[in-house]
Amino acid sequence: MLLMVGLGNPGAKYAGNRHNVGFMALDRIAADHGFSPWKSRFQALTAEGRLGEARVTLLKPQGFMNLSGQAVGEAMRYLRLTPAEVTVLHDELDLAPGRVRVKQGGGHAGHNGLRSIHQHIGEAYGRVRIGIGHPGHKDRVAGYVLSDFAKAEEAMLDDLLRGISDGAPALAAGDGARFQNAVAARTAPPRNSGTRPAAAPAPAASPAAPPAAPPAPDPEPDLASRLRALTDRFR
C-alpha cells in the first residue's frame, strides 16, 4: 500500500492555480488508471486503485496548503504506513515549467505544504517536484503561485500531466528514473531521428517565351509599279 498526496488549495477559485498542480496530477492519474470515485475522509478527498502491482490511495488535503500535514498524518497512521511509503506531488519554483524531479527526504525549501507535512510525519517521505518556473523576484512569488497557468502554457501543462500519469506505475514501483523518462517522453522535444530533411522543391521553371511571330510578308506591288518594271525590261 502506498499513499500518494497531491498538494493544492481547495475550491474552484484555486483550481487552475500553479500552486494546485499537485491536485491536477492526481486527478489525471485517477481518471487514466480507473481509480474509485473521490470521497471525503482524513480531512481530504481520497480515491483508491492500483498502479501496476501496487495498491495506492490518492489523497488531496482539503485544508489550505499550510494545513496539508494534518490530513497526510491522519491518513498515514490509519493506513499503517511509514513516511517512506508516502509520496507528495507538489509545485516547484526552482524547476522550469514542464520539468519533474523525484526526491526522497530532505528539506521543505520554504514550501508551506511541505513544511506542514514535515511537522506531522517528519521529512523521510518522497516528493515529486513539478516545475512551474520562478517569476524572477521573491516579492512576486505569492501572486505567481496563486495565479492560473497562462494560456500559452496549456499545451505544456497537458503534456506534463499526461506524462506524470504515464509514469505513475513506475513511480509506485519505486523506479524514479523510469518515471522521469515517461514524463520527458511527453514534454521534451523529439530528438533528431537521423533522417535527412526532405529537399526543398526545385523552383518552378519560368514559362517558355511564346514563339516569335513569323515575319510579315512583303506587300504586293501595286499596278503602277508592275507597269514601270515591265517598261524598264524593254528599254
Hey, which residues are catalytic here?
A: 19
Contact 14, 91 (CB under 8 A): no
Report the amino acid identity of residue 177.
A
* Helix, strand, or coil (residue 47): strand
For CA atoms 230, 231, 234, 235, the dihedral sign is negative
Q: Rounded to whole angstroms, how far apart are CA atoms 30 and 229? A: 111
Look at strands 39-41 and 2-6 and give their pairing: unpaired
Q: Write phi, then psi, for 197 (nearest 5 degrees).
A: -65, 150
Look at strands 86-92 and 2-6 and give their pairing: parallel
Q: How far is CA 67 from the centre of its chain?
A: 28
- The C-alpha cell 470515485 sits at 37
* Helix, strand, or coil (residue 17): strand
Q: Write phi, then psi, for 181 (nearest 5 degrees).
A: -65, -40
Contact 136, 123 (CB under 8 A): no
